Amino acid sequence: MEQPTNNSRRYHWLIMAAALVIVVAGMRAIADILNLVFIAVLIVFLCLPLLRWLREKGLPDMLSLGLVMLLIVVIGGALVVFLTVSTNQVIDRLPAYESRLEDIQTAVQGQLDNPDIAAIYNNVVESFSFQPFISIAVQSLRLFAESLSNIVLVFFIIFFALLDAFDLSRRLHAAAPEHHPLLTRFETYTKSVQQYMLIRTIFGLIIAALQTILMLVMNVDFAVQWGVLSFIGNFIPNVGFIIGLIPPAAVASLGLGFGPMLILIVLYTLINNVVENWLMPQFMGEQLNLSALMIFLSLIFWVWVLGWLGAILAIPLTLLVKIVLVDAHDNLKWLSAMMSAPSSQARDEATT
């Protein structure tokens, strides 16, 4: 009697694996549309507390919605203008940096006495050029301009999602029992993502502001632009800090020298570590409840599935999978334990 049961379990897991492959393949095929929807949903999560606060102050629903949408339009429009102008400014300055690199090459060549070392150095430096960076910058600007048409679609998704948010909770509770497990998990997921995004946004602004002040004091070119890049990179786990550090460090090395560049790297890193690894966890708590390995693997997976926007969406989407899907099945407790942070796992084991 056990053989059919074992076979049915094998078939069950095979079907689940096949369904997972199909879902992932489908997500990759429509990644462009999914990215717009996911980004819009994240913005909605960020705006919901403000929307609720306005309603609690006695403002009518449509006026509250209108004020929130106006804020989104103002911030989005300012960001579009800022990124467009900044990209053009950086592109215009790249030839000057290339000229500076050639001057450094000439100065170093004069200090090299050994012909063999000089020949190796020349080969290395001559193989390096800013032209690829110019091409990448121009291509990025072109792609950014082409993506502006998608902003309208994102705007309407946000508008209708916030419009539904007024009555969504009541409809969900009407469609399911008060303590339905799926509804409870969805509410837990919503609160976790809201807390994660809000704390990430607040502390990302603090980190970016401190790093921008540092770069302004050190007279690093495009300090404000690199500050915005640092803020965006704050939403990318593990590698976002490195992405935000490389451009200002490179510019500082060309404009200020290697000594100031090293000082910038040390202080830039110190600011990030103090705020993100000491201050932010005190507010974040353990709501995220994902292990460091899972965060890193989720980053790789979602970038592979959705493209570069998957780096920003990795944590919210992984939380969705864990809280709503994995934690819902008793036979996946082992997977939930592997995905959870060690301290959370230890606490759960102590209480069971």
Q: What is the pLDDT of residues 25-64, one digit of tens each?
A: 888 888 888 888 888 888 888 888 888 888 888 888 888 8
Query: Of all residues in the chain, what percent are helix, strand and coil, respectively (each to 5)?
Result: 85, 0, 15
* CA angle centred on 229, ends 246 and 69, rounded to 5°: 170
pLDDT number for residue 347 = 47
Can you tell me the distance from the alpha carbon of 304 to that of 28, in angstroms, rounded to the nearest whole number? 8
- Counting every residue written for the chain, the total comes to 352
**Average pLDDT, 10 consecutive residues per value, the chain (352 residues):** 58 78 87 85 85 86 86 83 78 74 66 58 55 52 56 79 72 63 75 82 90 91 86 82 85 82 90 82 65 83 86 86 77 74 52 46
Residues 6+ away with beta carbon under 8 Å from 238: 295, 296, 299
pLDDT number for residue 1 = 44
- pLDDT tens column, 134-190: 455 455 555 555 555 577 777 888 888 887 776 666 666 666 666 666 677 777 788
Can you tell me the distance from the alpha carbon of 51 to that of 67, in angstroms, rounded to the nearest whole number? 9
